[in-house]
Each structure stands twice: as C-alpha cells, then as structure tokens.
Amino acid sequence: MARRVERQPSLLVDSLREWARGCYAQEAAVELLFRAFGGRFTSSAYPWVISDDEEDGWFWLDGEQLATATGCLSGGEQRVLALAGALVSGAPVPDLGGLLAGMDRTNLHLVLAAFAHAGGSHEQVEALLNGDELAWRRHGPLLAWPEPTMPAGLMGVQP
C-alpha cells in the first residue's frame, strides 16, 4: 500500500529521476513535471506522486492519476499533466492535436522536448562512411530541454 510522505523537493525529484532511469518515456515525464509550472507538480502532496512503503525515500509516478486527478487545475495545467501521464502509463492520448493546440509556447516547447526525449533522440548515433573509413557521430537531442524556472524550494535541483 502506497502512502503519502512529504519530502524535501530536491530529494523527491532525485528519487523520481532514479525511478525513471532507463525508460525514456518515464524520464521524459519526470523532466516535464519538474520543468513545467516551476516544478510544483513534483510535490508528494499530489496523488500522482506515490511513496513506496517498502523503501523510504523511493517515489514513483502514477500515470492514471496524472491523467484523471486534475479537475481543479487550469486547462493548460491539465494538458501538460495528461501528456506526462500518457508518457508514464503508455496510455493513448485522445485528441493530441487539440491538447497541443491549447498550449502556450513555453509548455509546448517542454512537451516537444519530452516527446524527443521519449523517442530517444538524445541517444541516437549515425554511421558515416567515407571511402573505406567508418565513423560514428552522436547527435544531441532533437529538441533540447529549455532551462527550468525554479521556485526557491527546488533551486538546489540540477536540470
């Protein structure tokens, strides 16, 4: 049974990143939550940030809660959280075009960076053949994450 535990924001974000490590879609969802809206949706006060009973300090995201437990939030917040929930759960996104069209430029940039990360663009390598020589070139992300704007509680968290 999962429980609610308040944690220092930087430790919580670090724990979520550790939980997501190795799954690009989950990594993208954590970064999206951390970078959008000043990081306030990475708080354990929200029902989608779950604490593990077995291991103290271990947190994970509930994709279904991200997609459904947002009724009291603004439309823009709901759109971003719905996409983060879909990245976590793998659930289909109804009306993706409508969700994207309703976003401001800042959040659209974050979502597109999340999609690029989920697609693995930050790890892509290209083989280049020049005569008899083969070389490898690592590409950077298709769209890099913008720098986050952080409230005081998250200032110590590294982007």
Reading the block at residue 104, the tokens are 């401001």
Convert the pLDDT of each residue in 51-71 to its tens digit: 977 667 789 999 999 999 999
Question: Which residue pairs, CB below 8 angstroms and at least 24 apart, start in 134-142?
Answer: 141/113, 141/116, 141/117, 142/116
Give residues with Cβ within 8 angstroms of 96, minimum separation 6: none
Convert the pLDDT of each residue in 121-135 to its tens digit: 888 888 888 889 998
This prediction has a pTM of 0.82
Given a cut of 80, whether residue 39 has pLDDT beyond it is: yes
DSSP letters, the chain, are: --B-----HHHHHHHHHHHHTT-HHHHHHHHHHHHGGGGGGGSTTSTTEEE-SSSTT-EEE-HHHHHHS-TTS-HHHHHHHHHHHHHHH----TTHHHHHHTS-HHHHHHHHHHHHHHTTGGG-EEEEEETTEEEEEE---SSPPPPP---GGGTTS--
Q: Average pLDDT over the chain, rounded to whole?
A: 87
In angstroms, what CA-CA distances link 124 with 48, 127, 132, 140?
A: 31, 10, 23, 8
Q: Give dist(CA 6, CA 99) in Å, integer.
A: 31
Query: What count of other Cβ atoms lies within 10 Å of the Cβ of residue 114?
Result: 27
Q: Which residue has the higher pLDDT, 85 or 131?
A: 85
Q: Give dist(CA 88, CA 2) in Å, integer.
A: 17
